[in-house]
Amino acid sequence: MEMREKLAERTKAVEAVVEQYLPKEAGHQKTIFEAMNYSVRAGGKRLRPMLMQETYRLFGGTGAEIEPFMAAIEMIHTSSLVHDDLPCMDNDELRRGLPTTWVKFGYDMAVLAGDALMIYAFETAAKAFAMTAQTERVGQAVGVLAQKTGIYGMIGGQVVDVELTDKPIPEDKLEFIYRLKTGALLEASMMIGAILGGACAAEIAKVEEMAACIGLAFQIQDDILDVTGTAEQIGKPVLSDEKNHKTTYVTLHGVEQAHRDVEQVSQDAIACLRELPGENPFLEALIQMLVTREK
């Protein structure tokens, strides 16, 4: 089976896991459930839950306790996208080829949907406590999820990003933003997979280093696509960064250097992977695919 066929198969399996943890669309607050589910179901690569599951498998994990965390990380990621698209942030009307949540449900309901997804993610992750005897691992994983989501992770990176909107961003701060805003949830995903799979502290640290490389490569490629892609390819407006006067890796280094750097950083991630015990050829191929993606 070709890698793209395997990827499509795994993506479908991940989506089935996420789907089973979405709220039922009933009750007086039905609108918020509809907005949450619309946002999650809008599509995407499901990269974070997939990386989480594959890292879990790398360390020999076979249980179901990984699944609530897979759904939770996708909810948190979706929450960040819902808020990113708001008029007070990037003011985007298209996401993955569909109207953004605020366009579909209104500004007020989109704010609530983003908040609701964030909180519901932790409610969902907590379901793992009842699914394994290794409850201390679940507790550690919840801690990582919170840290990588909050002020020392994704939200912290977003704060600096928003503060520097319409201003030149020095390279050190741009890397800080990328490490936290994009990289933190990838780090959380893979670290949680390692933790629940029984990795030791040194192995978890190596996984965090690998995920940081993947996150940087992913974000550089995203910057490249914003310049070179089409709206049909990437599922959102092109030149969004230029429209919002954002400093990106491409504006600092140019497209050609960005291509070279994304390749190098991806190879660094592969090198980290090969230092870890066990083998997961699909995980290695998945990391390699990130540098050539067009979406």
Of the two residues 150 and 289, the one the predictor is more confident about is 150
Structural domains in the chain (count): 1
Q: Are 234 and 173 in contact (CB under 8 A)?
A: no
Q: What is the pLDDT of residues 246-255, one digit of tens each?
A: 789 999 999 9
Residue 121 belongs to a domain: yes
Among 28, 29, 77, residue whose Cα is nearest residue 49: 77
Mean predicted confidence (pLDDT) in 15-37: 98
Among 205, 217, 210, 223, residue whose Cα is nearest residue 290: 217
The CATH number of whichever domain residue 54 belongs to comes to: 1.10.600.10
Of 30-44, 105-119, 168-182, 222-236, which range is least confident? 222-236
DSSP 31-100: HHHHHHHHHHHT----HHHHHHHHHHHHTT--SSTHHHHHHHHHHHHHHHHHHHTSTTTT--SEETTEE-
Residue 295 belongs to a domain: no
- State yes or no: pLDDT of 234 exceeds 90: no
Is 28 exposed, middle or buried, given 0-12, 13-18 or 19+ CB atoms closer than 10 A? exposed
Residue 15 belongs to a domain: yes
Q: What is the pLDDT of residues 35-58, one digit of tens each?
A: 999 999 998 889 999 999 999 999
Residue 281 belongs to a domain: yes
What's the pLDDT at 86?
96
Residue 186 belongs to a domain: yes
What's the pLDDT at 242?
53
Q: What percent of the chain has pLDDT over 90?
A: 79
Of the two residues 225 and 124, the one the predictor is more confident about is 124
**DSSP code of 236?**
S
Among 185, 191, 262, residue whose Cα is nearest residue 222: 262
> ∠143-117-156 over CA atoms, to 5°?
55
**DSSP code of 130?**
G
What's the pLDDT at 44?
86
Of the two residues 166 and 37, the one the predictor is more confident about is 37
- How many angstroms separate the CA atoms of 219 and 216, rounded? 5
Q: What is the pLDDT of residues 215-227, one digit of tens each?
A: 999 999 989 998 8
Neighbouring residues of 242: CB distance < 8 A, sequence distance ≥ 6: 226, 227
- State yes or no: pLDDT of 229 exceeds 70: no
Backbone dihedral region of 235: left (phi > 0), alpha (psi from -120 to 50 degrees) or beta?
A: left
Mean predicted confidence (pLDDT) in 126-146: 98
Q: What is the pLDDT of residues 170-207, one digit of tens each?
A: 999 999 999 999 899 999 999 999 999 999 999 999 99
Residue 23 belongs to a domain: yes
pLDDT-based confidence at residue 244 (cuts at 50, 70, 90): low
The domain in which residue 159 lies consists of: 3-289
Q: Would the CA dihedral through 186, 97, 125, 55 be positive or negative?
A: negative
Give the phi and the psi of residue 144 in degrees, each rounded to 5.
-65, -45
What is residue 2's three-state secondary structure?
coil
Please state the pTM of the whole predicted model. 0.92
pLDDT, mean over the chain = 92
What's the pLDDT at 177?
95
What's the pLDDT at 53?
97
What's the pLDDT at 230?
53
Residue 294 belongs to a domain: no
Residue 206 belongs to a domain: yes
